[in-house]
Amino acid sequence: MSVVRSYTQRRVGPWHRLKEVLKLYQMHVHDVPCQVRELLADVANTRRSIEALLGGELVDKRVLEIGPGQKLKTATILAHRNCVTAIDLDFVARDYHVGDYMRMLRDNGAVRAGKTLARKVLGIDRVFERELLRALEIDEAPQIQLLRMDAAKMAFDASMFDCVVSFSVFEHLRRPAAVLDEVKRVLFPGGVACVYVHLFTSETGAHDVRVLSGQRDGIPYWAHLRPEHRHLVRPNSYLNEVRLGDWRALFDSHWPGARFELFREPHLQGELARVRQLGGLANYEDDELLSSVLAVLWKKPPTAPHGLQV
């Protein structure tokens, strides 16, 4: 396999990187039980939406997660009662073997390897996993088939999975249209895909850790969309910068009949009004500025008569 650099590979100075790491640490360790409760509630809501389209329980199904991340949070929950495969561009180190981190360093770069190793050494991942297993009332993490793979060129056979999920990954994809086609191909007829996109035009859409952590350091609202403030923003990952209308058009063209839901942030209406009074953000709609996430649900058409797929 050719080397594929992690989506975290963005060049910033060592001082900025250190501050980013400290803020990430604070986010990871703050009230872990609350983090787990919120995660379980979010996954439960997602499960209900998927089951409504599937027409049955999401149990004993073949589930694919695209971009599970290093902590395998959602994959662990879904694998409790399903057969889960997870694919990621990054090499995911499961244990503390030196060889795993050497491979991550080689394949995905020093930033990804350093962040992961730091979380392991500090025990952050262990604390979160222990709390998650406690909440799930199980003694050990369920088995997950974890593969390093490009979602735009999956190695799976057609119609392998009953369900495909992805959480806050599509905004990092360089070829989202190709991934949509691949999901369509590997999904079993009648299967369901569920994708959550963190919108670039949302207030946190630049993935600047200072904004994500609530410690803004004086960064104006929607600074990444305002030319006079854009220089203040430091994204911590690659972003394709696709806007809400373009996402809807893309999903419509590749997954006809897809259902959309926006997760809105009404508490930001006052801030948006103040920015607009100053003449800012005139080229953006309120929907794309006051929504943090676009959720997309799609059911692959079932097999038509005579064995032809619709």
CATH code of the domain containing 117 = 3.40.50.150
pLDDT of residue 5: 44
Query: Which residues span the domain enclosing 287?
Result: 14-302
25 contacts 122 by C-beta, under 8 angstroms? yes
Residue 270 lies in a domain: yes
User: Is 0.75 topped by the overall pTM?
Assistant: yes
Whether residue 5 is contained in a domain is answered as no
Q: Is residue 210 part of a domain?
A: yes
In a domain, 4, yes or no: no
- The whole-angstrom separation of Cα 287 and Cα 277 is 18
Contact 58, 163 (CB under 8 A): yes
Alpha helices in the chain (DSSP H): 14-29, 32-54, 73-79, 98-121, 124-136, 176-186, 209-212, 244-254, 269-277, 286-289
| pLDDT < 50 regions, the chain | 1-7, 25, 304-307, 310
Contact (Cβ atoms closer than 8 angstroms) between residue 109 and residue 238: no
Is residue 9 included in any domain, yes or no? no
Judge whether 238 lies within some domain. yes
Is the separation of the CB atoms in 165 and 62 below 8 Å?
Answer: no
CA 269/CA 78 separation, integer angstroms: 35
Q: Let me know if residue 6 belongs to a domain.
A: no
- Give me the number of domains the chain comprises: 1
pLDDT at 27: 56
Give 273's contacts (C-beta < 8 A, 6+ positions apart).
none
Closest CA to 300 of 157, 224, 190: 190
72 part of a folded domain: yes
Please give the span between the terminal C-alpha atoms of the chain, in angstroms, as a whole number.
34
